[in-house]
Amino acid sequence: MKAAVLKSLGSPLAIEDAPEPVLGTGEVIVDVVATRVLSYMNEVFSGVRNYALDLPIIPGPGGIGRVRAIGPDATKLAIGDWVFCDPTVRSRDDAVAPDIALQGLTAAGTGGLLLQKHFRHGSFAEQMRVPTENVKRLGAITSGEATQWCALGTLLVPYGGFLAANLQPGETVLVSGATGNFGSAAVSVALAMGAACVVAPGRNERILADLVRRFGSRVRPVKLSGNENDDRESMKRAAPGPIDCVLDIMPPSVRRDHDGASLWPRRADGRGRHGRRPGPRAALPLDHAQLHQHPRRLDVSAGCGQPPDRAGAIRAVAAGRI
């Protein structure tokens, strides 16, 4: 099969013949039809992000394709099914705190590196091998629609975060990093899950205006100044009332000086979710005195926690909710 191979950091991808993946129990072989290129892929390939990559590697974080082969333990999937391939691979021997690898992208910790040795190659190829539980049927779609469905991989990150934070219909949400790729997806997902209002802080006024154009008055944009106290007050003024839930989805390259600003506007029993994707990142600048006086629930995880209800997200997209 043809594949794009990264042989060394900083080198261009090489298009060449690669061995076809071999099927094992608990695995599915998928013919890749469409995949996504993450906005920060150049930083991964250059080594700037210091991601754990076992080179050479066929990169590519998930994708859309058709089932080519299934193992003996798959009873619902059929050859030819259109499927979404989720790149977040979790170890199967610890359901509470599984090790995680992002297939075709990176791995977290020693356990994640072990996963990567087997599920290393991603979707920048004609075929890929995926854990059975990571393959989700999409129903009848066309090859043209497969490209649009690639966005599901981005949407699942905030979707899992909001599920973990127990977002409820009618609540007010703050998305820290709302003008980024994953952040703008989080705005869309929060509204689809029933949020009454999404406070969207960011520095890019053009993207903030576009979010309002797309989603209307339920989005409350806040142009960040870089001053934590001023930004915190601006977020409070933008919200119609107490903020129930905060999702931080900032990339590691962005300054963290407004993390505290996004944390403290929440009501005392509000929830916060810091969705840290695997890779190096600065510590959160939390004020422990304020935490003692005004407790907040704050969860920090690689990505956004346990596997989300992928089927639920697929239904929401198919219904036009996202």
Q: pLDDT grade, residue 272 (50/70/90)?
A: low
The token pair that represents 18 in the structure block? 């690669």
Q: Which of 265, 262, 261, 299 is nearest to 166 (CA)?
A: 299
Say how many C-beta atoms besides its own lie within 10 A of residue 65's C-beta: 27
CA distances from 43 to 11, 50, 155, 160, 260 (A): 12, 9, 21, 25, 27
Per the DSSP assignment, residues forming a β-bridge with 54 are none
Q: What is the pLDDT of residue 291?
A: 37
Asked whether the predicted pLDDT for residue 268 surpasses 60, the reply is: no
For the stretch 298-318, pLDDT in tens is 444 444 445 567 888 888 888
Amino acid 285: pLDDT: 43
Instruction: Quote the pLDDT of residue 319.
Output: 83
- Residues 196 and 223 sit within 8 Å (Cβ to Cβ): no
Structural domains in the chain, CATH included, are 2-150 (3.90.180.10), 156-302 (3.40.50.720)
Q: What is the pLDDT of residues 87-145, one digit of tens each?
A: 999 999 998 899 999 999 999 899 999 999 999 999 999 999 999 999 999 999 999 99
Burial class of residue 8, CB neighbours in 10 A (0-12, 13-18, 19+): exposed
What pLDDT, on the 0 to 100 scale, is given for residue 284?
42
Question: Which of 22-26, 251-255, 266-270 shows the lowest per-residue confidence on average (mean pLDDT)?
Answer: 266-270
Length of the chain: 322
Stretch (H or E) spanning 245: strand 243-248
Say if residue 69's pLDDT is above 70.
yes
Identify the pLDDT of residue 37.
Answer: 95
State residue 301's pLDDT score: 43
Return d(Cα 277, Cα 216) in angstroms, integer: 30
Q: How confident is the model at residue 275 (pLDDT cuts 50, 70, 90)?
A: low
Q: What pLDDT, on a 0 to 100 scale, did the predictor assign at position 276?
A: 47
Positive/negative CA dihedral, 236, 249, 34, 140: negative
Q: Which residue has the higher pLDDT, 250 or 234?
A: 234
C-alpha distances out from residue 213 to 173, 186, 209, 217, 219, Å:
18, 16, 6, 9, 9
pLDDT at 255: 55
* pLDDT for residue 281 is more than 50: no
Q: At what angle do helices 152-164 and 181-192 cross, to 10 degrees?
A: 60
Mapping DSSP onto H, E and C, the string for 72-84 reads: CCCCCCCCCCEEE
47-61, 131-145, 174-188, 250-264: segment of lowest average pLDDT: 250-264
Nearest to 217 by CA among 235, 238, 186: 238
Question: 207: part of which helix (H) or strand (E)?
Answer: helix 205-215
> Which residue in the block uniquely carries the two structure tokens 């993390």?
259
Q: Is 315 helix (H, G, I), strand (E, B) or coil?
A: helix
Q: Which two tokens stand for residue 173?
A: 């949400």
DSSP structural state of residue 64: E
At residue 169, the pLDDT reads 95
